[in-house]
A and B are shown apart, each in its own frame.
Chain A
C-alpha cells in the first residue's frame, strides 16, 4: 500500500469556521490531489499539485485553497466552511503525470 495518511480522519465543525485537512505521503511522489466524494457524484477533483508550490484548480475548487510547501505534505483549506462542504475528502498521489493515482484513507467532514 502507498504510504498516504490523512488527518484528521473525522471532523465536525460549524459553518463559517476555517478548516484545514492534511495529506502526508512517504512515497516522494510529485503529484498530489484532493477529491471530494458525495452521493450521486462519485469523486470530483478539487485541486491538485504538480510540485512544491505548484498547484492548480480542479472542477470543484470554489471555496477551497491548497498549499504545498514540502513534497510530502499537501494541505486543503476551507476558508469559511459551509454545509455544502460536508463530504468525504480523499487525497491521492501519483509518481508522474499519467501514473496511477493511489488514495489515502479519507477524511469525513461534517459542517453544521
Chain B
C-alpha cells in the first residue's frame, strides 16, 4: 500500500527567510502525482503545487518550489521569502495514475509557524 510520511510535525521560520518541509512516500508505481496542500486556520484546503512523476523538472509556483527526487521517493517543499500568511498546516499528498480510484493519500501534516 502506498504511504506518505511527513516527519516534521512542526516547523518555524522567520519572516523573509526560507524553509523546507519534508515529505517521503512509498509506492511501487511509476506513474503518479504529488501535491502540497496548505490548510490555514480557516481549515480551507488550498492547492500549493503539483508535480507529475514523469516530469524531471521540479515544479515552481512563485515563492513555492519542490525538490522531487523520484529514486529516493522524496518530495520536499521550499518556501522562499516566508510571509506571515504562509503560517498554516501543510499536507503532502500522493495519487496513483491508472488505479481504480483517484484517491489522494495524505501525510499527517507539518504545522508551519512564521515568526515576525
- A interface with B by C-beta (< 8 Å): 31, 33, 35, 40-45, 48, 56, 58-59, 88, 90, 92, 94, 97-98, 100-103, 105-106, 108
Contact = CB atoms under 8 A, between A and B. Distances in A.
Interface string B24-35: 000000000101
A58 B91 contact: no
Interface of A is mostly: strand
Interface residues of B, number: 24
Nearest to A45: B103
Interface of B is mostly: loop
A58 B101 contact: yes
B108 A41 contact: yes
B45 A45 contact: no
A26 to B, nearest CB: 17
Contact of B47 (A45, A88, A100): A100
A100 B107 CA distance: 17
Contacts, number: 58
Nearest to B109: A42
Contact of A59 (B42, B44, B103): B103
Nearest to A44: B106
Contacts of B104: 33, 35, 43, 45, 92, 101
A103 B102 contact: no
B102 A94 contact: yes
B44 A106 contact: yes
